[in-house]
Each structure stands twice: as structure tokens, then as C-alpha cells.
Structure 1
């Protein structure tokens, strides 16, 4: 249940403590029949500010930015100042806890968010700011519920997954399966995440960061990037199950939305060095959505540009939030 908001605080300041809650309901899924889902969420920010749904990659969750009530840094902590002008609502993705082992479409996430809004008594939100997987979910929400959304900010997502990117993810899922078959699912997840890190960044960044000569360790040769990739994989495997990795990775590849169904103000952001979601795919999507704005973000960091290019992303978010309709 939602944490109760103190009336005297609202009357004096128009603000409320950040709160977390969960709602359980039956969800009719596109590929998996009807399932009981428990959706966990967090709300933070001024009560009278425009309501903004925020979603990130498959490793992002309900905790976007820190607050007095939840002081740990959120997954988009560098954007705290930009997001301060909005009332932020975010969820833990269905399947992220590993307890939901079946095909999950991004559209299922969008329907779940709409159901959560019903439970919270929110008829309409001012905006949806999504990046990577969150942008895919935002596109589906815009297509399914145009009457419930004021505007969309979509960062690093096309109308569908690129076939080459899907091929890369299929190999990551095979690494997970090999780990499970060998009795060490965490090792499979760690290897899959390390492989994924190669797709999130760029060859130019690796040239800058990992140009040291290989070393001989016993009778093995190690290259400069291995320690970094191993650490990233192990850290992710410590908080993500094999089922969660497999199902959310699959969900990215199930993404497919008809641009003609997105009929509301939309801004599409592409990172110039992102080969996971190429510029031309996002540009084509923006061209197909009537009146959409296209923004190209220069970056060394590829698909992770929305996390690494803090100043550029803050400017984009600030401009987007400034256009949102006030809370009603």
C-alpha cells in the first residue's frame, strides 16, 4: 500500500515524502496468458508537479533518484536536479525479481503501468521519459493509452529491435543457459553481462581506456579490459537471476510497435555512437511519428550515453519537463 501522505505537510509545502508500495493484480499477457503480478513502485517529488513516469534499461528499477526517505543513490542519480521539477513514478520491471519465468512483452509492462495508475487513482500522467528498454515500454504505453499520456521522451529505442543486436542478445542468453546446465547459473549471468557490456559501449572508448599491452598470467594471456568486464559481470550476477536476465533480454527482442499508433507529442533521442540502436532506426521512427522532434546526442559511450552524458541528458530532460502539462 502507498505510504500515507501527511496532510499538514502538503498544506504547508505542496510536497510529500517519497513513498514505495506494491500492487498485486491479474495481467493478461501477450505471450503467456493471464498471470498474477506484483508490481513494485516508488513515487518521489513535489505533489503539485507534473507526474512523470521514468523507465531505464533492464537493470534499472523503481529507485530513480535519492530522497530524504530513501537516501541511497538511484540509477539515474546524476539527473536528480533535472527531475526535481517533476513528480517521478517508477517501477521494478515485471520479471526483474526472477520469479516470473515466462515470455514478457514490453507491452505487458505498459499494461501493468496502466493498471498501477488505476490502483493509484491517476487518470493521466504528464509525461513518460524512457531510455533503452524503458523507451520501448514508453512507446507501447503511448500507443496503447494516448488519452492517459501528455508527451513521450524516448531515448535510444527504435520501433523494433535491430536484428544484429538481437543476435548478440541471443548469444548472451546461451551463455546463461550454459551456466545453468553446468550448475553455476551465476557464472552464466556474469558472462552474459560481460558480453552485453561490449554492446553498451564503443570501440573508441575501449581504445582510450584499455590500450595497455596484454599480460601473461601463468600460462594464460589477459587483455587490459578483462578485469573490468569480469567485475561488471560478477556485480550484475550478484543481484540478477538467470531467469530475470533471460526473460528481460528476450523482452527487448519482442519489442515491436507501429509508429502510426503513436499520436502524441514525442521527442526521440539517438546517441551518435550507439550501434546497439542505430541512429537511422531512431530517425526513421521520429519521421514516422507526426510532429516528432529528433535529437542527436554526441557521445563516446554508445548506448550508455544516457547514463554517461550527464550534462547533455540533463538539458534534454529539463527541456522536456518544461513542456509538460501541470498536475491536475
Structure 2
């Protein structure tokens, strides 16, 4: 395994920003890892990792959905907003002044692996990354959605390297209805490939996925306008929003990455009895991708469950992104327990 330190930086916010405090120190690494994959044999993979905060601070690994990556929050190396910027802005649990925050781009996120990818592969890659970075044990692993699945695998496979686990909107296995919905998305992508319209198929699959992340309540509130006729065709109020989501997605992703990481969600399975570390769970009543009932059942099956917080939110599965104050409260309690 080899480690490349791509960059290290410290900086201050521009003078026109609302805060005059210094942005946290950050480093990026590209780790060459020989990874024994569960379904694909030994592979040389390159794991991109971003580390924010002091090396002297307790280490916390942060992981999100399949479209999340190494850039969690704004820092001196990259001043753009991270995928969990809303939570970092709470200056609570994910405070780089208190913790050393680590995250990676998922194995397969560049579309360079056209083979089945298991959540166990992701967990093992993270363990190897910790080896390369000289981190023996994490203060916590915080995983949301797909990241929560990987967190459960990490706790089951590398318990000695983890003090506590926080899992948001994820369970020990995928929900069958959600798996069926994702299977349809993959068929849409495959149809686009057959028609030599990869980007169109991927954009449509992303639009379908957006419906599963949110709720009918939110759409009724945001897109209450009547269906209109435009150029002889009916067009509903949400179509433009969904199309923009699809167009943005294809600018950053390719079909192979989407297909293999979508499959990875559905291949996920762990034995709850293998997760011995203290585990805090978070669920949303309106989330049908990771139903609250299934997550509460996981709590009952875990040998060291530290609690299961269930909230109501019109944002459904995306509540971990859209309800930062409530999520921060859960994380803060978990970190202090």
C-alpha cells in the first residue's frame, strides 16, 4: 500500500464572508490499496481521502450516501461547501476544532470497477486507509444512508478499531421494496446504454431516485401548481426540478459507478449480533427507503444498542441532510455517552 499526500493547506475566509475565523487545516491523500474484494477478487484500488482538523484530535470517520464523497465540509484546502455542510455549520458534533474528520470517495465512485462491490469491501478499504494514516482507533464512525451500511460492516469486521458507531437511515439489510425501486432505476440506466444514450438513462434514474429520497408531503408543499399544457404536452410542476437534478448528476457521475454502487446497497447484509460496539441509530417515520420499523428492529437485535432516535420529517430519507439541528443533537449525545 502506498500513500500520496496530495496537498495540505490552512487559510482564512475571504473578507466578505460572514465569519472571520480561520478555516480548518485539511489534507488530501490518494491511497493505493490492494483490496481483497468479496465478489471481485484482489484489486488495486485508489482511495481518495480528505482529512480535516488537527492530527492531535480524536478521529471521526464520516460517510454518506453513494453520491457523497471525501469533501464533507468547507476547509482551507477546498472552500466550496461540502456534502454535509449544513451539519458542520452547527459547530457541534462535526466540529473540526474538536475532532479530526475523515471521509473518502467510495471504492468504485469513478466508474473504474465494473464488478460487484460489497459494503464489506468499503469497510475493509477504510480500515486499510486508517493503517496508512497511522490511526489505530476511531473515536466514532458516523454513517448515513449507504454510509450507515458501511459503518455497520466496519463495526462488525473491525470492532477493535472503533469506539462507537452512529447509523442514520440505514439498517442491517436493504428493504425489499426499496431494492425493487433501485432495480427499476438500474434497468433505466441499462436501457439508456442500449440506446447509446447513457447520460439520458442516468439522468432519468437519478430523477426516480430523487422521488425516493423525499416525501409526497414535501412535493405537495413545493409543487402544488396545476399540471399545465406546454406545446401540446402535460407538464407537472416538479418536472423542471427533477430534470435539473438529473442534469447535475450526470455532470459528476457515470453509469458504471451508479450501477455498481446501487447494486452495492442491495448486496448489503450483516448479522446484527456481530456489531458489538455501542451503536446509536436514527430513523425517520416518512423514510420508505430505510423504514423506521426496520431500524427499530435492528436496535432490538444489536447486543450493544445505545438508542434509536425516530423523528418525523417531510424530507424522508434526506432528513439527515435537511434536518441538521436535529441530527446534530443525536450525534452530540452519542459522542458524549
- Equivalent in 231, 238, 242 of residue 218 of structure 1: 231
Counterpart of 2:5 in structure 1 is 2
Pair 3,233 (structure 1): closer, same or farther in 2 beyond 3 Å? closer
How many residues end up aligned between the 2 structures?
A: 315
Match of 2:28 in 1: 20
* CA–CA separation in structure 2 for the residues paired with 1:161 and 1:130: 15
What's the counterpart of residue 84 of structure 2? 76
Partner of 2:320: 306
In structure 2, distance between residues paired with 1:19 and 1:114: 18
Structure 1 segments (4+ residues) deviating >6 Å: none
Residue of structure 1 equivalent to 2:130? 117
Partner of 2:176: 163
User: Does the CA contact (< 8 Å) of 2:6 and 2:30 recur in 1?
Assistant: no
Q: Any idea what SS the aligned residue of 1:216 has? A: strand
Superposition map of 1:73-112 within 5 A: 73-80=81-88, 81-82=91-92, 83-84=94-95, 85-112=98-125
Rounded Cα–Cα distance in structure 1 between residues aligned with 2:8 and 2:208: 44
CA distance in 2, matches of 1:261, 1:187: 42
Whether the 8 Å CA contact 1:161–1:253 is kept in 2: the answer is yes
Relative distance call for 1:259 and 1:73 in structure 2 (3 A) is: same
CA RMSD of aligned residues (A): 1.5
Matches of 1:217 and 1:255, distance apart in 2: 43
**Map of 2:16 onto structure 1:** none
**Paired residue for 1:326?**
none
Determine if contact 1:263/1:289 at 8 Å carries over to the other structure: yes
Following TM superposition, by how much is the alpha carbon of 1:317 offset from its aligned partner in structure 2, in angstroms?
A: 2.1
Q: Unaligned 5+ residue runs, structure 2? A: 10-22
User: 2:70 & 2:331 partners in 1: Cα distance?
Assistant: 18
1:122 CA displacement: 1.3
Pair 1:232–1:26, CA change in 2 (3 A): same
Secondary structure of the structure 1 residue equivalent to 2:266: helix
Between the aligned partners of 2:124 and 2:173, the Cα distance in structure 1 is 18
The 1-side partners of 2:24 and 2:328 are apart by 24
Residue 101 of structure 1 contacts residue 247 of structure 1 at CA under 8 Å; is this kept in 2? yes
CA distance in 2, matches of 1:291, 1:132: 21
- SS state at 1:72 partner: coil
Give the drift of 1:124: 1.0
2:277 paired residue number: 264
Q: Which residue of 2 aligns with 1:208?
A: 221
What TM-score does the superposition give when structure 2 sets the normalisation length?
0.91
Is the Cα contact below 8 Å between 1:16 and 1:47 reproduced in 2?
A: no
How far 1:110 sits from its partner (Å)? Answer: 0.2
Matches within 5 A, 1:135-214: 135-214=148-227
Helix, strand or coil: the match of 1:18? Answer: strand
Q: Which runs of 5+ in 1 are unaligned?
A: 7-14, 324-328
Given that 2:8 and 2:28 are in contact with CA atoms closer than 8 Å, whether structure 1 keeps it comes out as no
The CA distance in 1 between the partners of 2:328 and 2:275, in whole Å, is 25
